Structure 1
Amino acid sequence: MAGASSVYMHLKSRVSRCNVTAAVTSSPSSSSAEAQIGSRVQLPEKTRNSRVLVLGGTGRVGGSTAIALSKLCPDLQILVGGRNREKGANMVATLGGNSEFSEVNIDNVKSLEAALKDVDLVVHAAGPFQQAEKCTVLEAALQTKTAYVDVCDDTAYSLRAKSFNSRALAANVPAITTGGIYPGVSNVMAAELVRAARSESKGKPERLRFYYYTAGTGGAGPTILATSFLLLGEEVVAFNKGEKIKLKPYSGMLTIDFGKGIGKKDVYLLNLPEVRSTHEVLGVPTVSARFGTSPFFWNWGMAAMTSLLPAELLRDRSKVQQMVDLFDPVVRRVDSIAGERVSMRVDLECSDGRNTVGIFSHKRLSVSVGNATAAFVLAILEGSTKPGVWFPEETEGVAIEARELLLERAAQGTFNFVMNKPSWMVETNPKELGLGIYV
């Protein structure tokens, strides 16, 4: 495959991380999360002109990823993969001269393999991933020896992807599954909280909780709406003191403080892949994930759907798509009022009483998801990912020394990004009594 051999030679030699053209003005532990790294990244020479195919590139998530990559690394050749030539042409016009449209049908193996023939890395953003029976894109990537990142947010799909680990090792192909914003960046945040706790504290990590909030659909369109409906048909898997427990979807409401710019929001249990992966990879015995949206009546509607509609209907992709088509016009109108703010809060509790928090808040999900996915793409192109199929929190997926840079890139444009802080220091309007004491 043209160009691909240079990528794998680079990955084998583990060339050092790229040079950023402007200095980092804050670290992930900084309380001022508005700081950004430089707008351009200088990739190593061997991967500087890599060809990157973004499947779903005419959609909100894929398009955002393509735009982020083109801004960060103008030398990359971006292929916008999709079925609609008109939308593809519009995205190419947005990206500029170093891009082109590639008509791809991800359900057709021959179409996929032809599209990947001269590609160095493929980003699979053509969701939804729920109820997908095969990992056709990953299989094609392994067959053509193409590096791979997906933005999967489904537990079953992510585990199916992991089952290809030995094939990826044999093919010498680096691959990351669940490499978006949540899951994805949230997994890396959790890994860093656990790493810091184990190095700085005598206590053992005991409880890890993921909390997510998005206003409306976050401007991410009908695919996100379909994903939400499909997740309502899945029994929630969580872990309590090492034991797997099953819970009703969109139940167990908690009111969580997401800090400045977001405030307190209601969140509900959902079946998300980072729960199982972080439990197993990071060795934390109690793990759960919750999500909430606004306006408040969307939460009520989601809870009502789980009670009133049969789970079989909510697991049927075709019927869910019909519901999406019905609700989409109303959702878009509400989105125009609600905005698309997004926030992630990751909490870690340890046996010695140490409790630390990471918060990531951005005013536009449609932008931040692209920054997040692009950060994983760059990690692979810089050699931070070993051959195999990995979750983001695995050190083979993102090397420990590469996590800080990945988080900095993903956090570009955030208005609140903090790591490893006590909750009372990052929640809404903490009051300082003096001498660094807060209440």
Structure 2
Amino acid sequence: MAMLCMSITPSLTTPPTSTATVEVNKAKQVKSRVLILGATGRVGGSTALALSKLSPDLQLLLGGRNKDKGESMVATIGANSEFAQVNIDDAKSLEAILSDVDLVVHTAGPFQQAEKCSVLEAAIRTQTAYMDVCDDTSYAFRAKSYMDKAVAANIPAITTAGIYPGVSNVMAAELVRAARSENKGEPQRLRFYYYTAGSGGAGPTILATSFLLLGEEVVAYNKGKRIELKPYTGKLNIDFGKGIGKKDVYLLNLPEVKSTHEILGVPTVSARFGTAPFFWNWGMVAMTKLFPMEFLRDRNKVQQLVKLFDPSVRVVDGISGERVSMRVDLECSDGRHTLGLYSHKKLSVSVGVSTAAFALAILEGSTQPGVWFPEEPEGIAVEAREVLLQRASQGTINFVMNKAPWMVETDPKEVILGIYV
């Protein structure tokens, strides 16, 4: 069971959801048919399993290229699931399948270096609700440029709706909302810290994503000014609390930095990521020095690296496990410092539960027509955030919101007379 400690004062809690509304939302789910693209992969497969457990009556269409893997997934999920062989680059066949579903969940990454938002375009043409687990800044803001077309087609769409980015964006939005509700100071600095042991058990796609990100300059914001930094620099040792402890994290170019800066209006924003064992971090630093950025931006060359490193990564995964943790810190002008913390034993499970939580929010009518980031209230309504976080945090070893750092860290700073110093 998750340790769900929302820890929000009564004046900051989200509006309660009526029993009648909950029943209507459940009815919407039952009648819905969902296509999961990339369902034969680790992220898509985990999402399908999570959806089948969270909402057993949903009709799931598992889209992928490998028929054997697809049929194996159907056998695992059982009733209310079927496989569809799909090539997302074939617009006509993709549209034919989309015309028969209520929502498409796009997990067929990596999204880095992708030149088109072909699935979103097909969803708009067929008037199908859409979401993706994009973790690339360029792709995410390209998807955002389809806003007017999505509104005209009257379809809701959310981009970057996975675990991180995704749940981390919603956590940030809630921290900012809670801070502003007290009217004591303005949010000044927002920092995202992520940790995953090994590859997180999430397969070669995640490995490819990590390598491709090493080929991108890191975009961060300092007092409202956009700055560019070298990837996998700026090391910090961050305390992720119970079950994880202190880990080294490094700068990476992630879309939630730009989106939360612009949408939540926080002037200083950055994101860092770290992995384990510690020598993987050394390896990532070495790659940024050994390979030119042009090499790391080439998807074909990166795929060759993935094939080379994947066997050894699998071996290490068996030793290191796949724990994952997200820490989101907010500092305000009045000295207030709060955080949200999410830790889970298995990334391969938590990413599916998190993605499924967004899918259910869309099906329940939380999302307005248009293309939205998770932190936008038109994407996930303020009153729907608590339910989303509750769903996404199922199975966590630690989940807290709006706590002072000393209350969750394994080695907190000294507390004197109630003041965190």
- Quickly name the TM-score band, shorter chain normalised: over 0.9
Deviation at 1:370, TM superposition (A): 0.6
Deviation at 1:117, TM superposition (A): 1.6
Q: 2:361 maps to what in 1?
A: 379
Q: 1:202 maps to what in 2?
A: 184
Q: Is the 8 A contact 2:405 2:412 kept in 1?
A: no
Residue 271 in structure 1 maps to residue 249 in structure 2: no
Q: 2:228 maps to what in 1?
A: 246
Deviation at 1:178, TM superposition (A): 0.1
Provide the C-alpha distance between the structure 1 equivalents of 2:339 and 2:415, rounded to a whole number of angstroms. 21
Q: Is the 8 A contact 1:60 1:220 kept in 2?
A: yes
- TM-score (normalised: structure 1): 0.90
Q: Which amino acid aligns with 1:73?
A: S
Provide the C-alpha distance between the structure 2 equivalents of 1:279 and 1:108, rounded to a whole number of angstroms. 36
Give SS of 2:307's match: helix
- 1:16-415 alignment, distance < 5 Å: 26-29=4-7, 43-415=25-397
- TM-score (normalised: structure 2): 0.94
Provide the C-alpha distance between the structure 1 equivalents of 2:92 and 2:227, rounded to a whole number of angstroms. 41
Q: Is the 8 A contact 1:226 1:320 kept in 2?
A: yes
Provide the C-alpha distance between the structure 2 equivalents of 1:26 and 1:256, rounded to a whole number of angstroms. 22
Deviation at 1:27, TM superposition (A): 4.9
Provide the C-alpha distance between the structure 2 equivalents of 1:297 and 1:265, rounded to a whole number of angstroms. 12
Question: In structure 2, do the counterparts of structure 1 residues 26 and 426 end up closer, same or farther at CA, with 3 Å as the change threshold?
Answer: closer
Provide the C-alpha distance between the structure 1 equivalents of 2:420 and 2:175, rounded to a whole number of angstroms. 21
Give SS of 2:94's match: helix
Deviation at 1:308, TM superposition (A): 1.1
Give SS of 1:404's match: helix
Provide the C-alpha distance between the structure 2 equivalents of 1:46 and 1:417, rounded to a whole number of angstroms. 29
Give SS of 2:6's match: coil
| Residue correspondences, number | 407
Q: Is the 8 A contact 1:210 1:347 kept in 2?
A: yes
Question: In structure 2, do the counterparts of structure 1 residues 46 and 341 end up closer, same or farther at CA, with 3 Å as the change threshold?
Answer: closer
Deviation at 1:306, TM superposition (A): 0.6
Could you list the runs of 4 or more consecutive aligned residues of structure 1 that deviate by over 4 angstroms after TM superposition? 24-27, 429-439
Q: Is the 8 A contact 1:430 1:438 kept in 2?
A: no
CA deviation string 1:377-409 (max 9, x = no partner): 011111110000000000000000100110010
Provide the C-alpha distance between the structure 1 equivalents of 2:414 and 2:276, rounded to a whole number of angstroms. 31
Q: Is the 8 A contact 1:260 1:429 kept in 2?
A: no
Q: 2:14 maps to what in 1?
A: none
Q: 1:6 maps to what in 2?
A: none
Deviation at 1:46, TM superposition (A): 3.8
Deviation at 1:163, TM superposition (A): 0.2
Q: Which amino acid aligns with 1:236?
A: V
Identity of aligned residues (%): 77
CA deviation string 1:292-348 (max 9, x = no partner): 000011000001101110111101111100110111000000000000000000000
Provide the C-alpha distance between the structure 2 equivalents of 1:386 and 1:433, rounded to a whole number of angstroms. 44
Provide the C-alpha distance between the structure 2 equivalents of 1:342 and 1:108, rounded to a whole number of angstroms. 35
Q: Is the 8 A contact 1:194 1:348 kept in 2?
A: yes
Q: Which amino acid aligns with 1:367?
A: V
Q: 1:16 maps to what in 2?
A: none
Give SS of 1:44's match: helix
Q: Is the 8 A contact 2:4 2:399 kept in 1?
A: no
Deviation at 1:108, TM superposition (A): 1.4
User: Structure 1: any 5+ residue segments left out of the alignment?
Assistant: 1-23, 31-40
